[in-house]
Amino acid sequence: MQYSYLGNSGFKVSRLIYGNWLTHASQVANEEAVKTVQAALDGGITTFDTADTYANLAAEEVLGGALKGQRREGLEILTKVYWPVAERKPNDHGLSRKHIMESINGSLKRLGTDYVDLYQAHRFDYETPLEETMQAFADIVRAGKALYIGVSEWTAEQIEAGAKLAKQMNFQLISSQPQYSMLWRVIEKKVIPASEKNGLSQIVWSPMAGGVLTGKYLPGVKPAEGTRASDPETASFLEKFMTETTLNRVQQLKELADQMGVSMPQFALAWTLQNPNVSSAIVGARTPEQIKSNLGADEIEIPKEIMKRVDEILGDSIVTDPSLTKSPPERLV
């Protein structure tokens, strides 16, 4: 496993990060979750990403239990705050000082740790003054409850404003966590330039487009039971990729992966890591076997001619509209 610096900092993360959205305390039994985390550790993955909202608080607890007994200093634990949690009372949502302060304490308790390495704003909160949010993050850093601060799915303008305030408060934003894959490239035109300018790098989620880029979904064939495309809770997220045209084009990518002697998951992951502003890609494996199939992607370098061929094959299936980086206009409670 290779490791890279996160943003303009001395903090290193593994190039592949294990994330437990949709898996722990949800689609995967706890015993299997522990085995998958162990497989990640065995493969050299030291960075683990979660959020309080995953399985409504429970995913953090499962991850904390799975990491129990590991040397804390040898791990990088990432979590997030914003989405409604618990009983979804008026202050159980957003980036107010009250919610951030209460949320970090809850996350630390569930994860079984005194601090998290990276605490991330899971979305931008239009209903809280940005100064209030950034001051709360600054206080959390100074209290030692989080070592670094990042954001997720913030626009270029929001990153600019947040980074400016952070510097005024004597800390820095070091990361952005957006969706990014061969098919979903909405961060390339604005978010990445703003991040580079302000010392942030990307930790990307859904680098395999929810499994579409593994090639397992075939055009004209009903998704197999147990896959995310067959689950009503996640099928809507994949809908934009599940067209006949896109699935046919993804099948053509297999020839490129075969040419390089790598699997489709490895090819998709390696593609995202090819971007110099991407520090890491999050893998959301449900089984130890899936984790093992992803390993090695961080060491693959895709030649320019194959990168160009990817663009030619996928054509207008590639989504690039920067306006699709966005947060809900108001809290959902």
Q: Which CATH architecture has domain 3-324?
A: Alpha-Beta Barrel (3.20)
Q: Which residues contact 80 (CB under 8 A, 6 or more apart)?
A: 50, 51, 52, 53, 119, 120, 121, 122, 152, 177
Residue 24 has pLDDT above 80, yes or no: no
**Which backbone phi and psi does 119 adopt, to 5 degrees?**
-110, 125
Residue spans per domain, the chain: 3-324
Contact 167, 137 (CB under 8 A): no
Query: Is 150 or 233 the better-scoring residue by pLDDT?
Result: 150
What tokens does 76 get?
A: 């990088």
> Other CB atoms closer than 10 Å to residue 102's CB: what's the count?
16
Q: Show which residues are catalytic.
A: 54
Percentage of the chain beyond pLDDT 70 is 95
What angle (nearest 5°) sits at the alpha carbon of residue 304, between those of residues 320 and 325? Answer: 15
Query: Is 63 or 229 the better-scoring residue by pLDDT?
Result: 63
Cα–Cα dist 35/28, whole Å: 11
pLDDT attached to residue 23: 65
Percentage of the chain beyond pLDDT 90 is 84
Q: Is the pTM of this model over 0.85?
A: yes
pLDDT attached to residue 236: 80
The pLDDT tens digits for 175-210 are 999 999 999 999 999 999 999 999 999 999 999 999
Mean pLDDT along residues 105-134: 98
pLDDT attached to residue 22: 66
The pLDDT tens digits for 243-292 are 999 999 999 999 999 999 999 999 999 999 999 999 999 998 888 998 99
pLDDT attached to residue 13: 98
pLDDT range class, residue 28, cuts 50, 70, 90: low
